[in-house]
A = this chain, B = another copy of it.
Amino acid sequence: MSDIEREVRAVAERARDAAADLAPLSRSVKDEALLAMADALVHNAEAIVAANAEDVARAREAGDTEAMVDRLALTTERIEAIADAVREIVELPDPVGEVVRGSTLPNGLELRQVRVPLGVIGIIYEGRPNVTVDAAALCLKSGNAALLRGSSSAYSSNTRIVEVLRGALEKTAVPVDAVQLVPGSGRDSAQALMRARGLVDVLIPRGGRSLIQAIVRDSTVPVIETGEGNCHVYVDEAADLDKAVAVTVNSKTQRLSTCNTAETLLVHAGIADRFLPRVLRELRGLGIAVHGDDRVRALDDSAVPATEADWATEYLSADLAVKVVGSLDEAVAHIRAYSTSHTEAIVTDSQSAARRFVSRVDSAAVMVNASTRFTDGGEFGFGAEIGISTQKLHARGPMGLPEMTSTKYVVTGDGHLR
């Protein structure tokens, strides 16, 4: 076992012990600790900004773009906003202790299925240091110990932020080791975290495709895949033209770089002549480059030819793949072949078309006459999310606090025997 592996396991063992002490704590104890964390962030804002300046300087030296540097940079105002986000988590209900189902069995045994924390949650994430606070707060609120493994680019910021959060916990009943940074910033420390099966209950990666796929491949700790979104809008033959244009444009352009942004537009052949010229003109006006199949290019010669890769790509950019399909079922088949099962939308006024699309498309969220951009914990009213799961086990779609828990059965009798 390497030194870093030994260090990571030691941290994970402390997290395991902290999780056991954290699990039975009541909501009020956890909320006080969260408020103390928010206050400490504001009080120590200048020290955090100073640590962040080291990361920013390193990023500039490494030649990062100004957009990347801006994502990394913290200011006093940004830290206040991060603290406010923690205060919003305080307001959310505590999922722990919720009775998910309960009954009295025929023999008089009282059966209750109760929400309990998962235990130790490892978060492996890229980029922005606000995720450090956000993940720690969501874990604490749901009674879980957090093992935070941020990117090396934010290592100074993350180190100082976690010091501040742990300092705040020292004055509360929450164990300090409920929030820990995983030591090291190299690949070996992430690998050690992925191998800590039995100590870490789940890993939630937050970042790009390559990060997530590497973790899924290498981790023996169970992983919840999040965030990859090759999302589709299908405009049905029976669509209202105005709604179809509006939903398509909003799904693609309201924000280019999010996982719920549409990347492919599928159009029924029966409406293509009327719909495509309008929507493509509008998209072009907003700076979107269209990658089209032959039928699209026959209607719009500025479109570049779509290749096989275009159908499979999550652009996260001002690009859109566009294809004309002969039927709803052809759209469904295309989605099955290429989608990452995040979010797909249909625009139609036909009840039967909507019903068929909803039942045949197997994605975390299926939108009917609504923008793909709505797949979001905040929009769904969950208050906060740790990520959007694109897998089918445990949690699917936006993961709020209840998705960060497990359950246990509590069975109460009076000397009951079988």
**A415 close to B (CB within 8 Å):** yes
**A157 close to B (CB within 8 Å):** no
Closest B residue by C-beta to A416: B370
**A76 close to B (CB within 8 Å):** no
Question: Using Cβ atoms and an 8 Å threshold, which residues of chain B touch A409?
Answer: 364-366, 375, 380, 396-398
Question: Using Cβ atoms and an 8 Å threshold, which residues of chain B touch A119?
Answer: 362, 392
Given contacts A362-B408, A409-B380, contact A222 B222 (CB under 8 A): yes
1/0 contact string of A336-378 vs chain B (CB within 8 Å):
1000000000010000001000111011111111110111000
1/0 contact string of A242-254 vs chain B (CB within 8 Å):
1100110010001
Question: Using Cβ atoms and an 8 Å threshold, which residues of chain B touch A247?
Answer: 415-417
A408 engages B397 (CB within 8 Å):
yes
Q: Which of A204-257 contact B (CB under 8 A)?
A: 216-217, 220, 222, 224, 240, 242-243, 246-247, 250, 254
**A406 close to B (CB within 8 Å):** yes
Q: Which of A12-41 contact B (CB under 8 A)?
A: 20, 23-24
Given contacts A360-B24, A391-B222, contact A417 B371 (CB under 8 A): yes
Contact of A369 among B242, B370, B392, B413 (CB under 8 A): B413
Name A's interface SS. mixed
Question: Using Cβ atoms and an 8 Å threshold, which residues of chain B touch A240?
Answer: 415
Tell me, in angstroms, the Cα distance from A23 to B359 when the chains sit together: 8
Selecting from A42-50, A62-70, A103-111, A303-311, the interface stretch reads A103-111
B406 engages A392 (CB within 8 Å):
yes
1/0 contact string of A400-416 vs chain B (CB within 8 Å):
00000011111111111
Question: Using Cβ atoms and an 8 Å threshold, which residues of chain B touch A124?
Answer: none
Tell me, in angstroms, the Cα distance from A365 to B407 when the chains sit together: 9
Contact of A413 among B370, B392, B408 (CB under 8 A): B370
B418 engages A406 (CB within 8 Å):
no
Closest B residue by C-beta to A356: B24
Question: What's the minimum C-beta distance from A400 to chain B, rounded to whole angstroms?
Answer: 11
Given contacts A222-B391, A392-B201, contact A103 B374 (CB under 8 A): no
Closest B residue by C-beta to A363: B408
**A298 close to B (CB within 8 Å):** no
Tell me, in angstroms, the Cα distance from A412 to B367 when the chains sit together: 6
Question: What's the minimum C-beta distance from A81 to chain B, rounded to whole angstroms?
Answer: 20
Question: Using Cβ atoms and an 8 Å threshold, which residues of chain B touch A364?
Answer: 408-409
**A1 close to B (CB within 8 Å):** no
Closest B residue by C-beta to A365: B409
Tell me, in angstroms, the Cα distance from A173 to B10 when the chains sit together: 55
Q: Report A's interface with B, CB cutoff 8 A.
A: 20, 23-24, 103, 105-106, 109, 111, 113, 116, 118-119, 197, 201-202, 216-217, 220, 222, 224, 240, 242-243, 246-247, 250, 254, 336, 347, 354, 358-360, 362-371, 373-375, 379-381, 391-394, 396-398, 406-418
